[in-house]
Amino acid sequence: MKVKNICCIGAGYVGGPTMAVIAQKNPNINVTVVDLNEKRIAAWNDDNLDNLPVYEPGLDAVVGESRGRNLFFSTAVDAAIDAADMIFISVNTPTKTYGVGKGMAADLKYIELCARQIARVSKSDKIIVEKSTLPVRTAEAVKNILDNTGNGVKYQILSNPEFLAEGTAVEDLQAPDRVLIGGEQTPEGLEAIQALVDVYASWVPKAQIITTNLWSSELSKLTANAFLAQRVSSINALSELCEVTGANVDEVANAIGKDSRIGPKFLKASVGFGGSCFQKDILNLVYIAKSYGLDAVADYWEQVIIMNDHQKHRFAANMVRTMYNTVSGKKLAFLGWAFKKDTNDTRESAAIYVADKLIDEQANVVVYDPKVTDQQMYSDLDYLQTRSSEANQNALTVENDPYKALEGAHAIAVLTEWDEFKTYDWQRIYDNMHKPAFVFDGRSLLDKSALEQVGFQVYVIGQ
């Protein structure tokens, strides 16, 4: 079968960019991305492409090319479901914050709502594609809900997890390392798999499109993230050892990474990994392992998270210790709030936890980030529920001008590796700070010896 109408439920960091590229590469397929969030859809439809709700380099051009031609953003969820022959589910699957599995299991309420909505609205046969990251065997539950509505519509469920990383989403989508499609190994299942293979084959070489059974596909996504996060926690564990032994973690990473079996990528020591997926997906993996009674497996993967929490706390504690064991009343300037460069996403960003710790120590935190709004920063802090919103408002200030943010500060913490930080006039910054002036570089982004020559006292993670 040839797919003509695609609907994607969820216009977030995955749904928006993924559908924009599918539409760009398949001008003959109509792609409608729907969301309950009216503000988000309005932003996707904004005439000014600078106002798209997701910041990704190159995304404006891709959306600009197809929007209004075969790419549409809408809040009319039922109509889009009805018209589609293939429906992607790309809604959020956050960690549960209540009940059984609280703080660990994936919250599947949005997925279930989508399945029920599809079941209620559909009048013709459909292929349902799980794009969200899900626990292994979720497709079984989705199928169960869909098949028990009694209206005679036939569904095929596919798993097609997304591997894009934020900040490089467009590149990752246009030239993916691989596309993974899992489906039932029946004639109908294989036909559905082929229909989705054909969508991707418009631009992805066939050899890079992997097809598997449903459970392998679902589990591969969670474990791919776990393996990546494990590398960051491994190098971060070494960063602490480097600091006490005089080794330099960047040099160690370079030496390790030269072994082609290990490779150089994803070995950058940092203040800790953030983002919406690593923590949530590993916790979910831990939960799944536990629920099968595999405690040793669960403990093994949980250690990746424990190491990551330790790294964030260690960074904040080191700031306090270095500044004579008190930061009370001191102005501490943050460069960066996003969880990595080239994105406006802040979910689970290390900056949030570092700020929270320093505010506990009564510091005045001032933040500059080129793409994150002040409302977002306050809502990130409020989400931790450490103190009242009012107290967070008093403790944290947001500046739109980096030089203003750094003026009169006792210390600077580099928490996101935005390229523009490297281009600043560091002499001017030094001149306008309290002395001694400290830089705590959580990303080993800046040139340490150049900063030391200016007069800064510099701490770089892992050095």
Q: Using CA atoms, how far apart are residues 140 and 157, in angstroms rounded to an integer? A: 9
133 binds ligand UGA (CB under 6 A): yes
340 binds ligand UGA (CB under 6 A): yes
Give me the sign of the Cα torsion angle 217, 233, 17, 144: positive
- Work out what residue 340 binds among ligand UGA, ligand NAD, none; the CB cut-off runs from 5 to 8 Å by kind: ligand UGA
Task: Decide: helix, strand or coil at residue 31.
Answer: strand
Which of 3, 19, 63, 77 is in the footprint of ligand NAD by CB under 6 A? 77
166 binds ligand NAD (CB under 6 A): yes
**What backbone torsions phi and psi does residue 200 show, to the nearest 5 degrees?**
-75, -30
Q: Using CA atoms, how far apart are residues 54 and 38, in angstroms rounded to an integer? A: 15
The residue behind tokens 């995304």 is: 59
Contacts to ligand UGA from residues 196-235, by CB under 6 A:
225, 228, 232
Q: Between 107 and 136, how does the x/- string for binding to ligand NAD read (CB under 6 A)? A: ---x--xx-----------------xx---
Which of 166, 250, 369, 441 is in the footprint of ligand UGA by CB under 6 A? 166
Q: Residues in contact with ligand UGA, total (CB under 6 A)?
A: 21
- Work out what residue 392 binds among ligand UGA, ligand NAD, none; the CB cut-off runs from 5 to 8 Å by kind: none
CB atoms within 10 A of CB 389: 11
342 binds ligand UGA (CB under 6 A): no
Which of 44, 339, 418, 456 is in the footprint of ligand UGA by CB under 6 A? 339
| Shortest distance (Å) from residue 352 CB to ligand UGA | 12
Q: Using CA atoms, how far apart are residues 171 and 59, in angstroms rounded to an integer? A: 10
**What backbone torsions phi and psi does residue 50 show, to the nearest 5 degrees?**
-70, -15
- Work out what residue 26 binds among ligand NAD, ligand UGA, none; the CB cut-off runs from 5 to 8 Å by kind: none
Which of 230, 276, 279, 349 is in the footprint of ligand NAD by CB under 6 A? 276
Which of 107, 162, 250, 302 is in the footprint of ligand NAD by CB under 6 A? 162
Residue 277 annotated as catalytic: yes
163 binds ligand UGA (CB under 6 A): yes
Name every residue whose Cβ is closer than 8 Å to that of residue 427 and which is 6 or more positions away in sequence: 454
Task: Decide: helix, strand or coil at residue 103.
Answer: coil
Cβ 355 vs Cβ 367: under 8 Å: yes
| Shortest distance (Å) from residue 167 CB to ligand UGA | 7
Q: Which amino acid is at 26?
A: N
Pairing of strands 438-441, 411-414: parallel
| Shortest distance (Å) from residue 435 CB to ligand UGA | 31
- Work out what residue 410 binds among ligand UGA, ligand NAD, none; the CB cut-off runs from 5 to 8 Å by kind: none
Pairing of strands 86-89, 5-9: parallel
| Shortest distance (Å) from residue 282 CB to ligand UGA | 11
273 binds ligand UGA (CB under 6 A): yes
Residue by residue, DSSP assigns 263-316 as -STT----S---SSSHHHHHHHHHHHHHHTT-HHHHHHHHHHHHHHHHHHHHHH
State which H helix or E strand residue 23 sits in: helix 15-25
Name the DSSP letter for residue 334.
E
Residue by residue, DSSP assigns 353-391 as HHHHHHHHTT-EEEEE-SS--HHHHHHHHHHHTSS-HHH
**What backbone torsions phi and psi does residue 30 show, to the nearest 5 degrees?**
-85, 130
Task: State the catalytic residue, choosing from 7, 8, 242, 277.
Answer: 277
93 binds ligand NAD (CB under 6 A): yes
| Shortest distance (Å) from residue 432 CB to ligand NAD | 37
Contacts with ligand NAD by CB under 6 A lie at 9-15, 34-37, 40, 77, 90-93, 110, 113-114, 132-133, 162, 164, 166, 276-277
Residues designated catalytic: 277
Contacts with ligand UGA by CB under 6 A lie at 133, 162-166, 225, 228, 232, 266-268, 270, 273-278, 339-340
